[in-house]
Amino acid sequence: MFDFFSKLFGREKSSNIAKERLQLVLIHDRNDISPETLEHIRVDMIKTLKKYLEIDEKGIEMELERKNRSVALVANIPLKTMNRPLRGQKKK
Amino acid sequence: MDCRVIVVTSGKGGVGKTTTTANLAVALASAGHKVVAIDGDVGLRNLDVIMGLENRIVYTLVDVIEGNCRLNQAMIKDKRNENLFMIPTAQSRTKDAVTSEQMTALCNELRKEFDYVLVDSPAGIEAGFRNSAAGADEALVVVTPEVSAVRDADRIIGLLESMEKAPIRLIINRIRPDMVKRGEMLDIQDVLDILAVELVGVIPDDESIVISANKGEPLTFSGDSLAAKAFANIANRIRGIETPFLELKAEPVGFFRRLFGGK
Cβ contact B64:B95 at 8 Å: no
Predicted pLDDT of residue A67: 79
Do B154 and A26 lie within an 8 Å CB cutoff? yes
| C-alpha torsion angle, residues A36, A40, A42, A45 (rounded to 10) | -160
Rounded CA-CA distance B219/B213 in Å is 9
> Is residue A1 pLDDT above 50, yes or no?
no
Nearest to B186 among A19, A25, A29 (CB): A19
> Is residue A3 pLDDT above 70, yes or no?
no
Q: What is the pLDDT of residues B190-210, one digit of tens each?
A: 999 999 999 999 999 999 999
Rounded CA-CA distance B54/B129 in Å is 23
Rounded CA-CA distance B89/B63 in Å is 9
Name residues 162-191 of chain B within 8 A of A (Cβ).
180, 182-187, 190
Give Cβ neighbours of residue A86 (< 8 Å, ≥ 6 apart): none
Q: Is A80 exposed, middle or buried (0-12, 13-18, 19+ CB in 10 A)?
A: exposed
In chain A, which ranges are E strands? Answer: 61-67, 70-76
Give Cβ neighbours of residue B248 (< 8 Å, ≥ 6 apart): B175, B177, B202, B204, B226
Here the ipTM equals 0.80
Contacts of A27 in chain B (CB under 8 A): none
Q: What is the pLDDT of residues A15-57, one digit of tens each?
A: 999 999 999 899 888 888 888 888 899 899 999 999 999 999 8
Segment B167-183 shows an average pLDDT of: 96
A40 interfaces chain B, CB cutoff of 8 Å = no
- Nearest-Cα distance to chain B for A72, in Å, is 18
Q: What is the pLDDT of residues B229-255, one digit of tens each?
A: 999 999 999 999 999 999 888 766 555
Do B194 and A25 lie within an 8 Å CB cutoff? no
pTM across the whole model: 0.85
Rounded CA-CA distance B4/A78 in Å is 58
Do A18 and B194 lie within an 8 Å CB cutoff? no
Rounded CA-CA distance B231/B10 in Å is 17
A37 interfaces chain B, CB cutoff of 8 Å = no
Predicted pLDDT of residue B14: 95
Greater pLDDT, A24 or B73: B73
Give, in order, the Cα–Cα distances in Å from B160 to each of A31, B124, B125: 17, 13, 10
Name residues 229-258 of chain B within 8 A of A (Cβ).
none
Closest CA to B157 of B4, B9, B6: B9
Predicted pLDDT of residue B261: 47
